[in-house]
Structure 1
Amino acid sequence: MHIIQCPYCGPREEVEFTYGGQAHIARPENPEALDDAQWADVLFMRDNPKGIFAERWMHAAGCRRWFNALRHTVSHQILATYRMGEAPPAPDTLEEASR
């Protein structure tokens, strides 16, 4: 079982959390100008990197707040968590933690 560091409540077991998809997605400025294919890209196309990935999570069985996490997609290790609206930690500090 993984332990996830909720930025509001502290460390908790992963079963208390709900995954919310990719973080930091730019929403369209003119949504009414998009055709169906462009809307499909906005709604369904996400990055799928091998390495560090920014995700959204919610502490469903705790404070019920959303936050961001940086997770390594190969090891599933969560390298950092941070509140919505905060900048993610510097990438050079994460490379060391992911080794």
Structure 2
Amino acid sequence: MKIINCPLNGPRNSSEFVHGGELRQMPDPNNCTDKEWADYVFYSDNQIGLITEWWLHAPSGYWFIAERHTGSDEIMRTYDPSEIFTHRVEFTEKEERSPSEEVEA
């Protein structure tokens, strides 16, 4: 049985967790291109080594950060996101453009 140390709930069975993907610098959602946003959301470097990832403890709904070695699958450290994130990102709706405006842009 694999155990993951949840910063909020302590050591728990890995079946209680959901992998949320690699932690990467988010492009400005209001000023980036669709390709830049898609690259951020859907693609990762997928390299062997120590990476920083989002994880969710599903029963409590608690998101946290883990440093995991992709070669051994060993989780080296887990911590609360507040250790690195100091402000909330607010998303605003882009203005709706007609298809003809998108072609010209």
TM-score normalised by length of structure 2: 0.70
Count of residues in correspondence between the two structures: 84
Q: 1:50 aligns with which of 48, 56, 59?
A: 48
Give the whole-Å Cα distance in 2 for the aligned partners of 1:35 and 1:86.
29
Query: Which runs of 5 or more residues in structure 2 are unaligned?
Result: 85-105
TM-score normalised by length of structure 1: 0.74
Percent identity of the aligned residues? 44
Give the whole-Å Cα distance in 1 for the aligned partners of 2:30 and 2:57.
33
Give the whole-Å Cα distance in 2 for the aligned partners of 1:78 and 1:42.
23
Query: Which runs of 5 or more residues in structure 1 are unaligned?
Result: 88-99
Residue 83 of structure 2: SS of its match in structure 1?
coil
Q: 1:68 aligns with which of 50, 65, 69?
A: 65
Q: Deviations over 1:9-50 (max 9, x none)?
A: 110000011110012x22222x34433333322222212121
CA RMSD of aligned residues (A): 1.6
Residue 25 of structure 2: SS of its match in structure 1?
coil
